[in-house]
């Protein structure tokens, strides 16, 4: 496991240094080594966190192992079948459909949440009155409703016979909008619920970023006569990058593996319209009891998530350093 | 001329905010309204009905809801506390010290948050059974670290990085030991970030669905899992479900209101030094 | 009150050597200046004395005791940081009181109040005690940082450009205050500055630092009059010293100096000691150093004067500097304020050669100067 290896290599280096210093000590009455207490500190401090998380990492290794087997809850034994599971899924249309659904869902939710979140944050930042003051506190509330529960509530609201939204739509002449029941609108419904719950996260981060911007660059831009759009593109946006990247990171990664909302909404339906990689894995693993076969779905997802995340994080750290440097 | 333009734009902007506010808050308001509606009137009325406290009665006093609620509090609250105790020192180390593979370790920790829960849950299910921590508070609190600690470490690390290291030097020269510096000087300065990140960590933990679904059974049942029970039955008591949902949001709401001041400030990245 | 010694101290940061075999001996109760350009290593030295950093090689001694392994808290030093390092969440009173509340140097609240009030009055910040650092100007922050250091009675005061952000009037006032404090407390002080006037007026002795090495140590006067190389000569003195490249020629007992630029030749006024040193040095190519106050000018052509053109004329307070250009050579000289002249005007320049210094052209090292004996005698008297 990479983490374990890192820690071990760090410790090995420590032991080596100690040995070296011991021999040097004998020779030169060494007074220049940093005391062990101070040198060890970083490792000691990180260890509790690592310890906790290392324990969780073992499953990752197991998952990789099991994906290469025919492990199943039903069967008493399992055999090592190598890459058979992997080859199967690459050939299956189910897999590629799941990939497509995952990407679609992630794309729409992330784009809407980022744009809407940033937009609302800007509006809130520009207008300071009693209304916005209250709104700033209250807009965080949707985030606190567990997505599962939020889905249930929304389902009730959208219900074709008795839902409140239905009743309101009736007023404008729209009847029986299928929402989650039809393949053409199921994605829309799921995205809408996701947006409802999670936009607040983006707003929080964007607003925090906006409110911490230094005033002087903007003042000089005003003197230089920059238009609002110019200021936004060249001043605001770059300085907001650290916050926006974090928001993007968390939302995109969560959307790629979204399970709860879709599960609560339609369990993946109608049919297989909303079967993304997470849900397909669950179905294969628990419903069809084909543990080993389910894991490649998730591992592919994880690989993709990790790669994309690394890229975003790299950019975020760079943007953060830049923002700090400017001050 | 400019003034009326400005006012028009202000009206427009506030108008957009109102629209969003309706979108965001209406479901919540409606949910609360539902809590007071009797089942009999559930589908026949919209806004005008006779309010009743029956739903609250049923859920809070006559069902196991309170037990689930407490389970959630223990598990989510415990998870956040553990995350803080282990995470803040780790954030400090990542901010101050330059050891090999520092950024790699930091990224690893962050990546736990994105690890697909399903991926972790299947093998963990077996491990937990073997270790005997399946369906225990300890087991859930431990696995919740995957979702509560990463953001906390990242936000707090940003805060530590914002604190000039010279302040620690000055305190050393003044005569303070490292621990005293940590508590007297550093903690007060990271408070906004710590508190805001703690709230988010709490929300993530509280809302978690997959982990308790797979890794606990009957003795420990957070409300996210328990809520689905309310759907499983043939006759869905929407009013009761609304109560369950509303009450479940309360701890986070209260937490948020308490730290309101710090919430937005706390989540700024790359902020100007105070 | 302690003697501070650095013996062969080397400090590295990765591949960068910040301090290279530094030897320093600061006497007890001395006001010692570290002077040099940015990045020279002055702050690193302070950090190593304070214990914030530990050298890779070498020994740091305070009061004769080796303190390498002792942590900063126990070294009993007080430090004023270049960037103030004030505690942002505490008000001015608490910032200044902070050292007196630490477990090692704890005092009771009454003593603390007296000490803080005294220091605050001295720094003229007594009306700011309730404010937070974010509400202070740079100058005020600097005074709080100073106050925090002065409130204790440490072994040594370590001050890193403590007056850098104060306006001229305040800086002068503080300079006097500081010197007074130091004398009254009899505390060893090590003071970093890049202001040469400050260095000259405050320091008992000055160490010139460049690129992690000590270039020269001595009293202000010693360094000013006998800099060990051109770098030091240019560092000390405002306006900067004139360095005129040229060739020495000896004809019989007389020495002649020919400018590299052009062909002007000057006979050097005779001085036995100087000529002996020049001969021993066996250098032909030399740079002649002449301070701006030893260059005279006239707007009328005069015998022996060099014809130049006016390049610039700038006021530097109560006097002005004229820079005259002769081919590619620029010559700085002092002039009173309010002289009427035009750029590119002709100006005739006379060198008062009896005040010159001589440096080797290739190594830039100091060879000798006029009246060296007199300077040395003065230095002995000062150090005595």
Query: What is the pTM (predicted TM-score) of this model?
Result: 0.79
Domain membership of residue B45 (yes or no) is no
What's the CA gap between B13 and A126, in Å, rounded? 9
- Would you state the pLDDT for residue C260? 78
Q: Quickly tell me which residue has 């309170």 as its tokens.
A: B66
Q: Which of A32, A34, A41 should be substituted to probe chain C, the one whose Cβ sees the most C Cβ atoms within 10 Å?
A: A32
- Would you state the pLDDT for residue C48? 92
**Over 90: is that where the pLDDT of C150 sits?**
no
Q: How far is the alpha carbon of B218 from chain A, nearest alpha carbon, in Å?
A: 19
- Would you state the pLDDT for residue A211? 82
- Would you state the pLDDT for residue A21? 42
What's the CA gap between B96 and B190, in Å, rounded? 14
Encode chain A (327 residues) as per-residue pLDDT tens digits.
Answer: 455 555 555 555 555 554 444 443 333 345 666 666 666 666 666 666 666 666 666 777 777 677 666 666 556 666 666 667 777 777 888 888 889 999 999 999 999 999 999 999 988 888 888 888 888 888 888 988 888 888 888 888 888 777 788 888 888 887 888 888 888 888 999 999 999 999 999 998 888 888 877 777 778 877 887 777 777 777 788 888 888 998 999 899 989 988 888 988 888 878 888 888 888 888 877 777 677 777 778 888 888 888 898 899 888 888 877 776 644
> What is the arithmetic mean of pLDDT over B64-68?
84
Contact criterion met (CB < 8 Å) for C102 and B173: no
**Over 60: is that where the pLDDT of B185 sits?**
yes
Contact criterion met (CB < 8 Å) for A31 and C66: yes
Q: Which residue of A has its CA nearest to C61?
A: A31
- Would you state the pLDDT for residue B155? 87
What would be the CATH architecture of the domain defined by A85-326?
Orthogonal Bundle (1.10)
Q: How far is the alpha carbon of B25 from chain A, nearest alpha carbon, in Å?
A: 8
Q: How far is the alpha carbon of C95 from chain B, nearest alpha carbon, in Å?
A: 10
Q: How far is the alpha carbon of C86 from chain A, nearest alpha carbon, in Å?
A: 18
Topology of domain C239-383, CATH: OB fold (Dihydrolipoamide Acetyltransferase, E2P) (2.40.50)
Radius of gyration of chain C (CA): 25
Q: Where are the domains of chain C?
A: 4-233, 239-383
Q: How far is the alpha carbon of B58 from chain A, nearest alpha carbon, in Å?
A: 19
Q: How far is the alpha carbon of B105 from chain A, nearest alpha carbon, in Å?
A: 7
CATH number of the CATH domain containing B194: 1.10.3720.10
- Would you state the pLDDT for residue A18? 47
Asked if A32 has any chain C CB less than 8 Å from its own CB, the reply is yes
Q: Where are the domains of chain A?
A: 2-67, 85-326
Contact criterion met (CB < 8 Å) for A31 and C57: no
Q: Which domain does B136 fall in, by range? A: 58-266
Contact criterion met (CB < 8 Å) for B118 and A199: no
Average pLDDT, chain C: 87
Neighbours of C86 (CB within 10 A): 26
pLDDT tens, residue by residue, B121-141: 777 777 788 888 788 888 888
Q: List the chains bordering chain B where 3 or more Cβ pairs fall under 8 Å.
A: A, C
Considering only residues B4 and C45, tell me which one the structure prediction assigns the higher pLDDT.
C45
Q: Which of residues 110-149 of B touch C (CB under 8 A)?
A: none
What's the CA gap between B259 and B254, in Å, rounded? 9
Q: How far is the alpha carbon of C49 from chain A, nearest alpha carbon, in Å?
A: 13
Q: Which of residues 38-77 of A touch B (CB under 8 A)?
A: 41-43, 45-46, 48-53, 55-56, 58-60, 62-63, 66
- Would you state the pLDDT for residue B178? 83
A35 vs C contacts (CB less than 8 Å): 69
Q: How far is the alpha carbon of C19 from chain A, nearest alpha carbon, in Å?
A: 14
- Would you state the pLDDT for residue A24? 38
Q: Which residue of B has its CA nearest to C136?
A: B274
Asked if C52 has any chain B CB less than 8 Å from its own CB, the reply is yes
Of C75, C78, C102, the CB nearest to B176: C102
Q: Which of B119, B148, B159 should be substituted to probe chain A, the one whose Cβ sees the most A Cβ atoms within 10 Å?
A: B119
Contact criterion met (CB < 8 Å) for B114 and A309: yes
- Would you state the pLDDT for residue C78? 92
- Would you state the pLDDT for residue A34? 64
- Would you state the pLDDT for residue A327? 41
> How many domains, in total, are found in chain B?
1
Domain membership of residue B69 (yes or no) is yes
Residues with Cβ within 8 Å of residue B266, at least 6 apart in sequence: A208, B155, B192, B193, B194, B195, B196, B197, B259
- Would you state the pLDDT for residue A29? 42
Asked if A142 has any chain B CB less than 8 Å from its own CB, the reply is yes
Of B34, B116, B249, the CB nearest to A257: B116
Average pLDDT, chain B: 82
Q: Do the beta carbons of residue C220 and residue C206 sit within 8 Å? A: yes
What is the SS3 assignment for chain C? CCCEEEEEEEEEECCEEEEEEEEEEECCCCEEEEECCCCCCHHHHHHHHHCCCCCCEEEEEECCEECCCCCHHHHCEEEECCCCCCCCCCCHHHHHHHHHHCCCCCCCHHHHHHHHHHHHHHHCCHHHCCCCHHHCCHHHHHHHHHHHHHCCCCCEEEEECCCCCCCHHHHHHHHHHHHHHHHHHCCEEEEEECCHHHHHHHCCEEEEEECCEEEEEECHHHHHHCCCEHHHHHHCCCCCCEEEEEEEEEECCEEEEEECCCCCEEECCCCHHHHHHHHHHCCCEEEEEECHHHEEEECCCCCCCEEEEEEEEEECCCCEEEEEEECCEEEEEEECCCCCCCCCCEEEEEECHHHCEEEECCCCEEEEECCHHHHHHHHHHHHC
Contact criterion met (CB < 8 Å) for C83 and B164: yes
Asked if B177 has any chain C CB less than 8 Å from its own CB, the reply is yes
Buried b (16+ CB within 10 A) or exposed e, C321-347: bbbbebeebebbbbbeeeeeeeeeeeb
Of C78, C87, C104, the CB nearest to B167: C87
Contact criterion met (CB < 8 Å) for C57 and A35: no
Asked if B264 has any chain C CB less than 8 Å from its own CB, the reply is no
pLDDT tens, residue by residue, B132-178: 878 888 888 888 888 888 888 888 988 888 888 899 999 999 989 88
Contact criterion met (CB < 8 Å) for C68 and A32: yes
Q: Quickly tell me which residue has 């937490």 as its tokens.
A: B255
Domain membership of residue B53 (yes or no) is no
Q: What are the Cα distances from residue B258, in Å, to B29, B199, B254?
A: 21, 10, 6
Cβ contacts below 8 Å, chain B against chain C, sum to 68
Contact criterion met (CB < 8 Å) for A32 and C66: no
- Would you state the pLDDT for residue A10? 54
Neighbours of C289 (CB within 10 A): 22
> What is the arithmetic mean of pLDDT over B99-109?
75
Asked if B169 has any chain C CB less than 8 Å from its own CB, the reply is yes
Share of chain C above pLDDT 90, in %: 28
- Would you state the pLDDT for residue A27? 37
Cβ contacts below 8 Å, chain A against chain B, sum to 292
Of B171, B175, B274, the CB nearest to C134: B274
Q: Which residue of C has its CA nearest to A35?
A: C69
Surface-to-core class of residue A141, CB atoms within 10 Å of its CB (0-12 exposed, 13-18 middle, 19+ buried): middle
Of C54, C57, C58, the CB nearest to A34: C54
- Would you state the pLDDT for residue A112? 96
Q: Hey, what CATH class is C4-233 in?
A: alpha beta
pLDDT tens, residue by residue, B231-258: 655 566 778 878 888 888 888 888 888 8
Which of A116-120, C34-38, C104-108, C317-321 is modeled with the greatest confidence? A116-120
Domain membership of residue B8 (yes or no) is no
Q: Do the beta carbons of residue B60 and residue B223 sit within 8 Å? A: no
Contact criterion met (CB < 8 Å) for C102 and B185: no
Contact criterion met (CB < 8 Å) for A32 and C55: yes
Q: Which of residues 71-90 of B touch A (CB under 8 A)?
A: 82, 85-87, 89-90
Asked if A288 has any chain B CB less than 8 Å from its own CB, the reply is no
């Amino acid at each position: 496991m990479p983490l374990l290896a890192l820690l071990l290599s760090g410790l090995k280096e420590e032991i080596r240094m100690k040995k070296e210093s011991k021999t040097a000590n004998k020779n030169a009455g060494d007074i220049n080594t940093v005391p062990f207490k101070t040198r060890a500190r970083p490792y000691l401090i990180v260890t509790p966190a690592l310890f906790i998380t290392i324990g969780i990492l073992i499953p990752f290794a197991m998952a990789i192992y099991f994906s290469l087997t025919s492990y199943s809850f039903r069967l008493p034994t399992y055999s090592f079948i190598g890459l058979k599971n992997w080859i199967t899924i690459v050939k299956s249309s189910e897999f590629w459909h799941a990939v497509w659904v995952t990407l679609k869902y992630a794309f729409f939710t992330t784009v809407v949440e980022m744009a809407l979140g940033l937009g609302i944050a800007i509006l809130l930042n520009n207008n300071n009155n009693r209304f916005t003051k209250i709104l700033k506190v209250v807009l965080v509330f949707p985030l606190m409703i567990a997505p599962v529960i939020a889905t249930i509530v929304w389902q009730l609201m959208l219900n074709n016979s008795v839902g409140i939204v239905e009743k309101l739509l009736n007023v404008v002449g729209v009847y029986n909008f299928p929402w989650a029941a039809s393949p053409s609108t199921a994605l829309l419904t799921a995205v809408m619920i996701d947006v409802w719950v999670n936009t607040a996260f983006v707003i929080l981060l964007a607003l925090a970023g906006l409110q911490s911007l230094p005033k002087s660059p903007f003042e000089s831009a005003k003197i230089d006569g920059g238009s609002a759009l110019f200021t936004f593109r060249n001043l605001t946006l770059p300085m907001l990058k650290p916050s926006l990247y974090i928001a993007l990171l968390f939302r995109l990664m969560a959307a790629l593996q979204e399970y709860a909302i879709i599960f609560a909404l339609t369990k993946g339906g109608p049919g297989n319209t909303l079967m993304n990689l997470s849900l397909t894995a669950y179905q294969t693993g628990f419903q069809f009891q084909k543990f080993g076969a389910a894991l490649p779905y998730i591992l592919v997802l994880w690989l993709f998530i990790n790669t994309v995340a690394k890229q975003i994080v790299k950019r975020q750290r760079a943007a953060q350093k830049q923002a700090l440097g400017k001050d | 001329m400019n003034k009326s333009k400005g006012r028009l734009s202000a009206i427009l902007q506030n108008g957009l905010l109102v629209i969003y506010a309706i979108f965001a808050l209406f479901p919540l308001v409606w949910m609360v309204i539902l809590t007071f509606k009797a089942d009999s009137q559930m589908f026949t009325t919209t806004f005008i009905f006779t309010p009743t406290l029956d739903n609250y009665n049923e859920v809070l006093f006559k069902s196991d809801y309170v037990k689930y609620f407490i389970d959630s509090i223990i598990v989510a609250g415990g998870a956040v506390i553990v995350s803080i105790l282990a995470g803040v020192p780790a954030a400090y180390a990542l901010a101050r010290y330059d050891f090999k593979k520092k950024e790699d370790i930091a990224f690893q920790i962050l990546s736990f948050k994105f690890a697909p829960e399903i991926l972790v849950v299947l093998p963990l299910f077996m491990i937990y059974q073997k270790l005997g921590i399946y369906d225990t508070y300890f087991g859930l609190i431990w696995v919740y670290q995957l979702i509560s600690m990463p953001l906390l470490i990242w936000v707090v690390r940003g805060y530590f990085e914002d604190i000039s290291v010279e302040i620690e030097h000055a305190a050393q020269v003044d005569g303070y030991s490292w621990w005293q510096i940590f508590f007297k000087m550093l903690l007060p300065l990271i408070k906004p970030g710590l508190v805001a990140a703690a709230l988010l960590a709490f929300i993530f933990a509280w809302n978690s669905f997959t982990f308790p679904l797979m890794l606990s059974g009957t003795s420990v049942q957070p409300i996210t899992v328990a809520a689905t029970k309310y759907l499983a039955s043939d006759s869905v008591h929407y009013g009761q479900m609304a109560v369950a949902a509303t009450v479940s949001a309360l701890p986070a709401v209260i937490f948020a209101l308490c730290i309101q001041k710090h919430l937005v400030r706390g989540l700024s990245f790359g902020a100007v030094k105070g | 009150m302690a003697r501070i010694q650095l013996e062969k101290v080397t400090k590295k940061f990765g591949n960068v050597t910040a301090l290279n075999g530094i030897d320093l001996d600061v006497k007890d109760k001395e006001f010692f200046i570290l002077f040099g350009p940015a990045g020279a290593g002055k702050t690193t030295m302070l950090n190593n004395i304070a214990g914030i950093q530990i050298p890779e090689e070498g020994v740091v001694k305070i009061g004769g005791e080796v303190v390498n392994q002792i942590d900063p808290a126990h070294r009993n030093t007080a430090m004023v940081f270049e960037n103030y390092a004030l505690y942002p969440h505490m008000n001015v009173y608490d910032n200044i009181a902070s050292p007196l509340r630490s477990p090692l140097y704890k005092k009771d609240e009454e003593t603390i109040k007296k000490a803080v009030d005294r220091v605050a009055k001295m720094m003229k910040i007594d009306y700011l005690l309730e404010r937070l650092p974010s509400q202070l100007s740079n100058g005020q922050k600097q005074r709080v940082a100073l106050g925090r250091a002065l409130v204790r009675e440490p072994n040594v005061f370590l001050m890193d450009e403590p007056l850098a952000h104060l306006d001229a009037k305040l800086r002068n006032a503080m300079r006097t205050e500081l010197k007074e404090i130091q004398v009254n407390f009899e505390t060893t002080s090590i003071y970093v500055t890049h202001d040469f006037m400050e260095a000259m007026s405050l320091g008992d002795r000055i160490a010139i630092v460049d690129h992690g090495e000590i270039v020269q140590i001595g009293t202000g006067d010693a360094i000013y009059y006998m800099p060990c190389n051109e770098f030091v000569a240019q560092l000390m003195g405002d306006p900067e010293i004139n360095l005129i490249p040229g060739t020495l020629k000896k004809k019989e007992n007389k020495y002649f100096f020919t400018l590299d630029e052009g062909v002007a030749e000057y006979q050097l006024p005779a001085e036995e000691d100087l000529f002996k040193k020049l001969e021993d040095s066996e250098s032909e190519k030399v740079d002649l150093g002449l301070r701006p106050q030893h260059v005279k000018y006239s707007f009328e052509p005069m015998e022996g004067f060099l014809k130049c053109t006016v390049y610039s004329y700038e006021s530097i307070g109560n006097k002005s500097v004229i820079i005259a250009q002769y081919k590619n050579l620029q010559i700085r000289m002092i002039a009173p304020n309010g002289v009427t002249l035009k750029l590119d005007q002709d100006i005739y320049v006379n060198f008062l050669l009896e005040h010159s210094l001589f440096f080797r052209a290739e190594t830039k090292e100091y060879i000798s100067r006029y009246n060296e004996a007199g300077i040395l005698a003065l230095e002995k008297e000062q150090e005595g």
